[in-house]
Chain A
């Protein structure tokens, strides 16, 4: 198992390098100037040259990349061009904020999606199945940006029972998931963020449960006189690895931050940070964010694989 984990971690190195190269290239292919955030719209050529030199943007792009990689290997991700804060602080701060959101959204989506999918899978073709399928399709199809705005209008503007934006009454620095007043800020973004995973997880679960219920071992269990509840336990256990894999992917995807949702709710997460750094061409932040997010994705997949193999030892043997 240890060798497997080490091998998977080593795989992350070429992935990180590849992600960095692609990201760096794409940023430079896009038109625009990374210094536009700090330069006035009518900055003179002389000013631009001086500032470029100070920030190292006067060097050839491969040299800039090599310098960046050298620093990153030493743990120095540089400083944001626009905010002047260390990139590592920017990225880790926003990742932890997104983790709070995702940490609530994924379990919430799993509970709802898995339960719905399991029920639908147990009664294929019945009214409950069609209902659950309809809800799942709606969850996947609803633009979550729109849904977020609608929820804000209903719960924050009209009924005034939940806050519309932000991460706690005093910002993320003092946010605590153990304080009820802070948790109120999570309700609307978590519901909005959960909608797509709920749809995906319920569809995945439904398909897995329906398929497993038709397998021979289930007929054998039934022939042995097991209660329906005990059979469902077996079905659920067998469906779980596939669902977990999908959940892991969703977790990794949401950790990348939902730019639209975090913008609607002004949630200071990784999506919000990414969108800002893309617009501003804040290359150090963009590079650092994408690299760390890629690592989060790799780590999530690794964790899911380990979890799967813990649930189903056949996977480890394979």
Chain B
């Protein structure tokens, strides 16, 4: 015992000696990513830990039937063929999609990818009678496939998916449902705890190993079906690192070479050290969803007044320039942004609108969180919003809660929380459904969906019906623009900011293209010695 103690002390003393070899922690040719997540995302299909899990784990190990084109910096990311080469609506039945599957694709375990795999995957995601049913995956994917009714195999590389209602944009939902290997799952007797450490997909990376809560290692899939996306480096290491200062230190000390979301105040230091700090517009929305059941925001004049009151350039300055000014639910670069009214900072107009609405002082209670996924810097940002609103005649009361509690409020709906007039939950807006429809459709009234405030508008409902039934893409695009314009006209939210997704890379990493998306493609990265 004493001997061990002495050994330990001597070893500690030796470790404290200076001038030891420099910290490295990574082999040459390794991309080591410090994620914001507190744990490794799950590997049994769709990933947890928000879209960061999908970005780094699910979309590297697996493919979905529909993929995202992440190759462009200057254009909003849109979908492209994935494991399905084409998807078309059945002309005779607008609730039936025919999907042609990619030929010659192999799973990481060597089995062939076929229509049976697709049918089996949907079964395990949705059918709780299936031996392969996975509650965890059901929970993660359910939100994406609420309109899914059934699936059938047509031939070895063709399937048909039936939807509950006519939905011209159903294919977007398929982009978030990844396919895992039936072969591997059967070999493991559907033991998902085992599958976690032996996942098999068709994606651009193969799983090597993971140390719970610490690191996950992958290597490029040299047989990847998309030959243009075969990674050029040796190894990908993912490390959960929730503390921003730690991520920054890890990058500056050379322990990692790619970090997510550095804190804005560390960006000048990162730049001065030669790191590449990359930002780009992406479909993220930092706003307040409003209560349309009761309270001041039921009056459109009050909603417009609140939007006119927000000084977004000031907010941008507060964040060191790391945001885009938010004037709508979706960023301006979105193809269906249209030409909506933008409520630029105009305190006089805001005050006049409040007076006209006879709401002075206009008491509002906003539910906010101290932190949370996509919440940026919620406390200082909310303080600035409060000062902006109070400068024009609002009296703002914050109901501050932790992220978990705020999500509960968000799921419950406005009528369950009548004293709350707005909730500050950041939302993804990567497709028309997520960006627009779910916030205003009556079918999405909470707790059934994301329309927290129970917004209802006949003109909007009419547009939604037309969009759902329009299978001609250009015509649908026109309708979506009209929808966004209508949502802005009605000031359905108080818009403040769109995050710009900062990340910092070692100067040795080249070739990374930051797409305007929540998801990113790491395969083009090369590493210079």
Q: Is A15's beta carbon under 8 Å from chain B?
A: no
How many A-B residue contacts, CB cutoff 8 Å? 214
List CB contacts (< 8 Å) of A19-72 with chain B: 30-33, 35-48, 50-51, 54-55
Instruction: Say yes or no: B38 contacts A276, CB within 8 Å.
Output: yes
Distance, CA A32 to CA B425, complexed state (A): 15
- Closest B-chain residue to A35, C-beta based? B139
Contact with A along B391-427 (1 / 0, CB 8 A): 0000000000111110110110000000000000101
In the complex the two chains form, what is the Cα distance from A242 to B239 in whole Å? 43
Chain B residue nearest to A160 (CB atoms) is B22
Cβ of B511 < 8 Å from any Cβ of A? no
Q: Mark A165-187, 1 if CB is under 8 A from B, else 0.
A: 11101111100011011011011
A79 to B184, CA, bound (A): 22
Min C-beta distance of A159 to chain B, whole Å: 8
CA distance A163 to B250 in the complex (A): 8
> Which of B59-67, B165-173, B252-260, B380-388 is the contact stretch?
B252-260
Cα distance, A55 to B134, chains bound together (Å): 12
Q: A44-B447, A183-B12, A187-B15 are in contact. Are A38 and B140 (CB under 8 A)?
A: yes
CB atoms of B245 and A264 under 8 A apart = yes
Return chain A residues, CB-CB under 8 Å to B18.
161
Closest to A275 in B: B38
Q: In the complex, what residues of A have CB within 8 A of residue B211's CB?
A: 170-173, 268
Partner of B48 from the list A55, A82, A149, A264 (CB cut-off 8 Å) is A82
Give the nearest-CB partner of B37 in chain A: A276
Q: How far is the CA of A33 from the CA of B14 in the complex (A)?
A: 47
User: Are B24 and A43 in contact, CB atoms less than 8 angstroms apart?
Assistant: no
Name A281's contact: one of B9, B196, B404, B448 (CB within 8 Å).
Answer: B404
Query: B189 an interface residue at 8 Å Cβ cutoff?
Result: no
Instruction: Return chain B residues, CB-CB under 8 Å to A47.
Output: 138-139, 142-143
- Say yes or no for B192: interface residue by CB 8 A criterion: yes
Contact in complex: A82, B15 (CB < 8 Å): no
- B240 contact set on A, CB distance < 8 A: 266
Question: Is residue B174 within 8 Å, beta carbon to beta carbon, of the partner chain?
Answer: no
| A164 in contact with B249 given A45-B448, A107-B9, A180-B15 (CB within 8 Å) | yes
Q: How far is the CB of B42 from chain A (nearest CB, A)?
A: 7
Query: Which segment, of B83-91, B153-161, B212-220, faces chain A?
Result: B212-220
Tell me whether B39 and A83 are in contact (CB under 8 A).
yes
B253 close to A164 (CB less than 8 A) = yes
The yes or no answer to B193 lying at the interface (CB within 8 A) is yes
Report the separation of the CA atoms of residues A30 and B401 in the bound assembly, to the nearest whole angstrom: 10
Instruction: Please measure, in the bound complex, the distance between the C-alpha atom of A94 and the C-alpha atom of B211, giving whole angstroms.
Output: 12
**Which listed residue, B7, B8, B20, B254, touches A184 by the CB 8 Å rule?**
B20
* Residue B459 CB within 8 A of the other chain: no
Among A36, A93, A170, A276, point to the contact of B407 (Cβ < 8 A): A36
Contacts of B246 in A (CB 8 A): 152, 164-165, 263-266
Interface contact A32-B402, CB-CB below 8 Å = yes
Inside 8 A of B449's CB, which chain A residues have their CB? Answer: 42, 44
Q: How far is the CA of A99 from the CA of B243 in the complex (A)?
A: 22
**A interface, CB within 8 angstroms of B:** 30-33, 35-48, 50-51, 54-55, 79, 82-86, 89-90, 93-94, 103-104, 107-108, 111, 149, 152-153, 156-157, 160-167, 169-173, 177-178, 180-181, 183-184, 186-187, 190-191, 263-266, 268, 272-273, 275-276, 279-281
11 more contacts with CB within 8 A, not counting A163-B253, A181-B21, are A31-B405, A33-B404, A35-B139, A38-B136, A41-B407, A42-B450, A44-B146, A51-B139, A82-B39, A161-B20, A279-B38
- A–B Cβ pairs within 8 angstroms, 30 of them: A33-B408, A38-B48, A40-B143, A44-B448, A47-B142, A47-B143, A51-B135, A51-B139, A83-B39, A83-B213, A84-B42, A84-B192, A84-B193, A93-B212, A108-B9, A111-B9, A160-B22, A160-B253, A161-B23, A162-B20, A163-B255, A164-B250, A164-B253, A172-B214, A177-B8, A177-B11, A183-B14, A263-B242, A266-B214, A268-B211
